[in-house]
Chains A and B, each alone.
Chain A
Amino acid sequence: MSARVRISLGLAVATGAAAALFIVDDAYLMRIATLGAIFAILALGLNLTAGHLGLFDFGYILYFGIGGYTTALLTLRAGWSWEAALVASVLMSVAVGLLVGVVVLRLRGPYFVIATFSFLTVAYYVAINWKEVTNGPLGLIGLPAPAFNLPAIGRVEALDPAGALAIALTGLLIAVAVVWRVVESGAGRAWHAIRDNEDLAASVGIDATAYAFLALAVSAGLGGLGGSIYAGYVGIVTPEIFAFGHMVNVLLMVVIGGTGTFLGPIVGAFLVETVPELLRVAESFRLPIFGLLLIAAILFAPQGVVSLRPWRALRAGRPRVPPVPPVEEGPA
């Protein structure tokens, strides 16, 4: 199966799933899908640095928060429309990303992880303590819900579950297109070279610093995009937007889905958003069971769920077959 067929098939499945959601029109399902789509944008963004460039940005949620706060401040304090605030949020996150990059991109390995995490921690405390701007721990409340009139479609409102889902999916679509084109542009190849052997990459003329800045900038921009949509959707931005829990979730999405793959972060995001909901039947055992499932996923699919056999068989166009048992070795 050629790449073209695979992409068409993937698009068809995604379109079908989205259409089913809109047809079933269940507010609860649409809410889960909306959050899944928003976090898929973030997972795609984190995967650029963590997966493609090979630097684990442990403070990635910083850009989510910057996007959220920028949107909240511009809509509430400056009376901007959400669409305008969204564009500004993306640009603001890119700018912050480049500034953070000046410090963190000098570092590698654990030092990079610690430095990025430190920036996130600083942002969290700034959001709590800079009360004149952020309103402290109470946060900024009552963001106007995104709403527009679209020709042929009519009014799209984030207050309406279907409208929110449509907005989140549009954001995800933009993110997918950007990531796909950037990775295919030749930057992807350079990132992979840097990830696999930075000295060797430099020895054949690849400017590791410039490509690292590119990865961080695009990744931060996607974080800002996700943060802005999230803020418009939930209508409130508090310091908890910088919470480490979000960071862990996005990390899980990337790792569970498949670090450095194209589909992995998207699949991972919807899994991490959906599975705990499915486990609600287990009541108070929900989170322990989810934890065990995560451990199982990492044990049995260390390359991410998109690397699993049935998935690969589907991708390669082979019929689904059970895995062949290993051949017994040694004397019969």
Chain B
Amino acid sequence: MTDAPLLAVQGLSRRFGGLVALDDLTFAIRQGELVSLIGPNGAGKTTAFNLIAGFLAPTSGRVVYAGRDLTGMAPHRRARLGLVRTFQQAAVFGDQTAVDCVVAGSHVRAEAGIQAGFFGTPGARRDEASRYEAALEVLRLCGLDSRATSRASDLPYGEQKVLGIAIALASRPRLLMLDEPTAGLNAVESESVSAILDRINEQGVTVFVVEHDMRVVMGLSDRVIVLDHGQVIADDTPDRVRADDAVIRAYLGDFDIA
């Protein structure tokens, strides 16, 4: 069982009307890996994320996570199993403070139930306090501790994106899927996001990331999966992918070198 992948995507396809967004996608991610998913615009990266996280239903194929077939399972149930995704646009609970956002992210980690909370049992209070402490810890890990009491929607875009990662982390994912975590960030912010991803991965979280910034991809990944026109065209180490003819063609177009 130890060799079984944490995530296995098997023959996943998705059509939008006549458009084939994903065509028989198959790949696997092992526990503890940091894998990047790259590909030109429209290759189907975000669609793949939506299918794996359960935000879209596949036309055919299946997603197996920790030995379980997830077909038809709602996103929040997948999250409870530790399969958590972030969004391409900064996604936060805008009306709440940063620390409250992160506490909300730890909702599934609440030990005491709603009934205990209703009656304000000591267990429920301890639980609330420990989730708050944990949230501050996550904010520290992400370098946002000085922003704990700022309203999320008042934060600059880059910090909102990092807060989105913090919210996801608070749910204690086993597989964290990040959709373009550095898109729209400047070089310094990108740098700190990749440092955060590295740290998360070191702590044992399997990381699967859609990324455009090649420096981030090449510097960070154990493995790179390349999508083009809804199909996997390469799945290998960063160095080998960089030298792959099919990948170069996908990015630069088909041409003959004279």
Which residues of A come within 8 Å of B, CB atoms? 181-182, 184-187, 189-190, 192-193, 195-197, 199-208, 214
Contact = CB atoms under 8 A, between A and B. Distances in A.
Interface stretch (B9-17, B28-36, B91-99): B91-99
B140 interface: no
Nearest to A206: B107
A214 B114 CA distance: 11
B75 interface: yes
B174 to A, nearest CB: 12
Given A195-B95, A200-B93, 19 more contacts: A181-B118, A185-B115, A185-B117, A185-B118, A187-B117, A189-B100, A189-B103, A190-B107, A192-B93, A199-B87, A201-B104, A202-B55, A202-B79, A203-B85, A203-B91, A204-B104, A205-B84, A205-B108, A206-B107
5 contacts: A184-B118, A185-B114, A185-B116, A200-B164, A206-B76
A190 B117 CA distance: 13
Contact of B95 (A182, A190, A196): A196
A193 B171 contact: no
Given A186-B114, A192-B104, A203-B86, A197 B171 contact: no
A203 B53 contact: yes
Interface of B: 53, 55, 74-77, 79-80, 84-87, 91-96, 100, 103-108, 110, 112-120, 124, 128, 164, 167-168, 170-171
B120 A184 contact: yes
B103 A205 contact: no
A200 B118 contact: no
Nearest to A195: B95
Given A192-B93, A200-B167, A203-B84, A208 B76 contact: yes
Given A185-B118, A205-B76, A197 B108 contact: no
Q: Which of B53, B76, B103, B108 has most chain A Cβ within 10 Å?
A: B76
Contacts of B128: 186
Contact of A205 (B95, B96, B107): B107
Contacts of A207: 74, 76-77
Contact of A199 (B91, B94, B95): B91
B84 A204 contact: yes
Contacts of B164: 200
Contacts of A182: 118
B133 to A, nearest CB: 16
A185 B127 CA distance: 11
A206 B103 contact: no
A184 B115 CA distance: 11
A331 to B, nearest CB: 29
A77 B203 CA distance: 68
B90 to A, nearest CB: 10
Contacts of A196: 92-96
A201 B74 CA distance: 12
A197 B93 contact: yes
Contacts of B80: 205
A15 to B, nearest CB: 22
Nearest to B94: A196
A331 B77 CA distance: 59
A99 to B, nearest CB: 22
B93 A204 contact: no
Contact of B119 (A181, A193, A202, A206): A181
A308 B120 CA distance: 30
B76 A202 contact: yes
B104 A189 contact: yes
Contacts of A197: 91-94
A122 to B, nearest CB: 30
Contact of B104 (A181, A193, A208, A214): A193
